[in-house]
Amino acid sequence: MFDFTGKTVLVTGGAQGIGKEVVRGVVNGGGHAVILDLNEEKAKATAEELGNCSVYKIDLGDKDNIRAVMAKVLGDFERVDVLINCGGVVSTVPFQEVTDAEWDRTLRINLTGTFTTCSAIYPYFIEKKGGRIVNVSSVAGKIGGGLLGTAAYATSKAGVNGLTKAIAKEGGNAVPAGSILSIMGLGIKQGDTVVINVEGTDADACADKLIGILANAA
């Protein structure tokens, strides 16, 4: 268990899957989790199950909605310490069958949605002189596909990887996290931004542990 005492952690896609397990880790560690999810019913059920959570409905496919919700969250809480982006969609459509609509939907939610949440909170962290952003990606973004995703999904996650590295280089110390072992050995510092690739067996547990390590790094 990691110590989140006194910390407020925003988790996109926190209603279910990896996001829910991240929320569980935050709550078990004594922190307050803010669940940002399109499925408000499931988000409220998760909040009721785990306790010490707030719920805000967000549409990661709508830039204006994201900015409005993020502004409200930052206004509602005295402090926000961490943003963890778990929200997204999987596209399993083979390349030759990918329509413009499928392509646009996948990149709009997975890549543009991640950009917009980061963009919305970044000035707040700069003003407060501290904060952490953790973007949960997929190995599909490195190898061009994987257990779940194909062309559109892999492209969106490759974009998340590049975006996260660029944010880190522009805003602080870049962290080259190429594998679990390299993450474990890094000296993560305040303001560092890391891409976590999680996929396959025990992905939820792995992501929970890694995010706890990164979010609490001194």
> Would you please indicate which residues are annotated as catalytic (active-site) residues?
153
Round to whole Å and give the CA distance between 200 and 211. Answer: 17
> Which amino acid is located at 189 in the chain?
K
Three-state secondary structure string covering 87-137: CCCCCCCCHHHCCHHHHHHHHHHHHHHHHHHHHHHHHHHHHHCCCEEEEEE
Round to whole Å and give the CA distance between 137 and 199. Answer: 9
Round to whole Å and give the CA distance between 10 and 55. Answer: 10
Q: Tell me how far CA of residue 202 lies from CA of 17, 101, 199, 208, in angstroms.
A: 11, 32, 8, 10
* Residue 99 backbone dihedrals phi, psi, to 5 degrees: -90, 165
